[in-house]
Structure 1
């Protein structure tokens, strides 16, 4: 009896590369027109973002002809009974990011990111900040979660198991933003998002937590615009790192509770993960 060619290592590697390329390309196809919107006036950019959001939802989140199985494969379904734990995770997402970033700044391992001149001029125009907030709190979380946790992580789970898929997707997510100094922050957040989406079988979990993350960081910057821990040393880095560690542990605990609520098996890698029916049903 000939072995199934789909079980060979070369097939898995090739199909995984194809899935990665397809997911990243689809994500870029939607992100390119989004970047071009900042060439318009803030008012027109806002209209364009709302229209782009509606079109994206219509194409991917509200496909009326999708079968139940197709929705399950793409995880376009409700969070289910885990939603209270998703709410409890949300504040920790922003705290994790802010704590890590503050520690990096305080130790001189990162510098405050300055906007490009073109974007700075856009933000200074009437309505510019509103357009930026719509992007950061609404459109970016939606597109990034469908792109990374949906189009990339989900296919990789089928080929390699949950843990490798979550890890690879988190790395890609961190690198795709082209900000090397922020890679540790986005990597940690990406791991939480990946585990939460896997635990609940719902892409909306990732979207909700991503929205909370971005909104929390923006709110912090709005309330404390002069906050600058750059170069303050361990006197600032130590408590910030403690906040990050506590937030990460809290996220790990709440994700476990999400798994318990949905009956989701603990994520594993390799053949063991694929052999469990409960893991291949989402």
Structure 2
């Protein structure tokens, strides 16, 4: 679980949940079960594994794909390539070697066997992997794609890596410790007073008519919505203060886990239309938002909730 509407002010972290999810309630006598201590992990080795997977399996195929290297999964807009599959296999082997006893929930593995998702509810640390986020961009030779990796334990995202190899960008976040882009601290900041809010929304090619109708509530004064590209890179845009918010209507953990932590650790905020934190295990009220600050998140959620 990622806390809703987390903000950074005057150097201190304030967490203001819109509502406390039922799972957060604990019986008074229930023992505390510690989360995996991410400080025990070699984070630099994880970053290196992500870079090597991209260097070995993704970039040699960028703008070099043959027709037989591309397959439709659930329709003409939902594509998978040999690069997606090979990079996920590479990362699965490398990440579980770095953390024995951990498991991997990868986009392509879940597509092949949905039972893989059950690991998100288990006790083992989980690597959540999207080998090529923005496969459509990758297929068309557009550099706007990324490899997304997050480490989670019992629903809490502990660390994340967002790597855009064609753009030379590596963003890293660690729960409670901050976020960095190419080694420089990230700060999402706050939109200027009265400025029109730039919001990346679920792409119309991947939304139902009902979802389009709800998202259309953002087409109003003071808000400028546009279809998203790679979800991971849109989160990075929020964390950098380049756009003001996202509004997404799907909840695949591999698309969102890394980016939500990145935004939070850059001082941003997030929440669902039900006023609850986003759960990586699923079952969220949708749409949800991630934004540069609490006020922006509340504004976006208010518009979406009114139309939901």
TM-score by length of 1: 0.29
Greater helix share, structure number? 1
TM-score by length of 2: 0.27
Which structure has the greater CA radius of gyration?
1
With CA pairs under 8 Å and 6+ residues apart, which has the higher RCO, 1 or 2? 1
